[in-house]
Amino acid sequence: MTVMTGRWELVEPILREKAYGTIDNDPQVLLADDAGGLGIDADLFHARLIGFDDQIDAEMWVRRAESDIYVPLPPKLTPIDFDIETMTPELRKAVYKLQSGWVVMTVNGEDAPPHIELRPDFTIRVAYLRYRRRG
């Protein structure tokens, strides 16, 4: 969990709203496909996980843009979902695939979180990514 202090607490929600608003209003997003592994140039990465019903399942900060994010699902309590040897629930995971539509925003260093090293031009880059749940 990231503890945010200073101006970043005020700036980041505005950046997030603007970034995802741009993504959601882009007609190409309707045609978005799984993007695969990417080398997006950013210092921070925010992932929005979109579920089967096009609702936001979760939002989180991630270390980098990954082609897949795996999120544990609560165990089912039916006998078929238990490991016979240990009688423990089988761990199930939801798979979210990186979509081809994303936004990278540049933030002035004075608005950046304190734990991020600034670039030579005294800025940071924040990537806002969309992931869609698959199978």
Q: What share of the chain is helix, strand, coil (3-state, %, to 5)?
A: 20, 40, 40
Per-residue pLDDT of the chain (135 residues; tens, 9 = 90+): 344 457 999 999 999 999 999 988 876 655 556 665 578 899 999 999 999 998 999 999 999 999 999 998 876 666 555 566 666 666 789 999 998 878 999 999 999 998 899 999 999 999 999 999 987
Domain annotation covers residue 59: yes
Residue 3 inside a domain? The answer is no
Distance of alpha carbon 84 from alpha carbon 80, whole angstroms: 9
Would you say residue 110 lies in a domain? Answer: yes
For residue 78, give its domain range: 8-134
